[in-house]
């Protein structure tokens, strides 16, 4: 991919060649004039002057184009970076820990990231792909786990957001997580990431908790709705503590 650095380097390169060519072409012309007054020498020097003049003209054009190209790329580059959102805020990047892995058909997520717009990945993750595979190499085979997927930015991150529950599984057997074939009881079916248009980027967080022994986890009638879920109250009610592993990705509506 062409970058601002490449554009500027090209511009300076051609500008340098232009100066160098101007100096080297001028030298033979003046030498010929001093060394001989014959008609032959005059013709040769004239031809050399014409050739060098054309060369200087060509390099002027090339240098000008390179400078313009470098300036264009330099101006365009920050816009492209802002559009693709390839970098995360440090706070968002620090959310992920524990080695949790979320696997979609064309996207294997093992660290905090922003879903790129290329290859229609934002569209596929929101409208095409079903629930991902979950892999956790650190799972203890004889323990049970709880997996929660939430969007903490509903309806938008900048306006007093609340939790939207996307997925909830309990009684997950540790050995199944270690094999990447999660097996448990579903309390909330998978709801794909579909942030509304013009609401910016939303975080989609996967959190894996150890389920306390002999604990029956359920949702109350009030929690039947996905929206405005009191996630912290749920965690506290069942003494889930801190997640043993967590992962998140950011995406926005694919039409934005």
Residues 26-37 have pLDDT tens digits of 444 343 334 443
Q: Is residue 94 part of a domain?
A: yes
The span from the first CA to the last CA of the chain, in angstroms, equals 24
Query: Is pTM, for the whole model, over 0.75?
Result: no
Which residues, 6+ apart, have CB-to-CB distance to 147 below 8 Å?
134, 167, 168, 169, 172, 182, 184, 206, 207, 208, 209
Number of domains, the chain: 1
In 3D, which of 181, 191, 241 has the Cα closest to residue 211? 241
pLDDT at 204 over 70: yes
Residues 36-46 have pLDDT tens digits of 434 444 434 43
Range of the domain at 140: 90-251
Q: Is residue 116 part of a domain?
A: yes
**pLDDT for res 85:** 42
What is the pairing mode between strands 245-251 and 113-114?
Answer: parallel
Which residue is listed with tokens 């160098």?
Answer: 20
- Pick the range with the lowest mean pLDDT from 60-69, 78-87, 138-147, 197-206: 78-87
pLDDT at 242 over 80: yes
Residues 69-81 have pLDDT tens digits of 454 433 333 333 2
Query: In this structure, what CATH number is given to the domain that contains residue 216?
Result: 3.90.280.10
In 3D, which of 179, 171, 109 has the Cα closest to residue 139? 179
Residues 172-194 have pLDDT tens digits of 999 999 999 999 999 999 999 99
């Amino acid at each position: 991919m062409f970058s601002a650095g490449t554009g500027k380097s090209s511009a300076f390169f051609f500008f340098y060649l232009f100066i160098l060519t101007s100096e080297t072409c001028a030298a033979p012309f003046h030498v010929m004039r001093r060394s001989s007054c014959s008609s032959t020498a005059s013709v040769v020097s004239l031809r050399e002057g014409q050739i060098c003049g054309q060369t200087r003209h060509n390099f002027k054009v090339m240098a000008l184009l390179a400078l313009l190209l470098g300036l264009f790329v330099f101006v365009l580059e920050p816009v492209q970076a802002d559009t693709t959102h390839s970098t995360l805020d440090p706070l968002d990047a620090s959310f992920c820990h524990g080695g949790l892995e979320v696997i979609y058909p064309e996207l294997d997520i093992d660290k905090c990231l922003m879903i790129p717009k290329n290859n229609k990945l934002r569209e596929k993750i929101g409208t095409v792909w079903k629930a991902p595979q979950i892999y956790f190499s650190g799972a203890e085979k004889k323990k049970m786990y709880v997996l929660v997927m939430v969007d903490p930015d509903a309806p938008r991150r900048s306006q007093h957001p609340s939790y939207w529950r996307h997925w909830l599984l309990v009684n997950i057997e540790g050995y199944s997580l270690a094999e990447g074939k999660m097996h448990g009881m579903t309390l909330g079916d998978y709801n794909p990431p579909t942030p509304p248009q013009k609401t910016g980027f939303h975080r989609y967080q996967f959190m894996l908790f150890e389920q306390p022994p002999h604990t029956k986890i359920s949702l109350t009638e009030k929690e039947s709705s996905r929206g405005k879920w009191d996630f912290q109250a749920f965690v506290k009610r069942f003494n889930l503590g801190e997640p043993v592993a967590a992962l998140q990705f950011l995406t926005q509506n694919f039409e934005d």
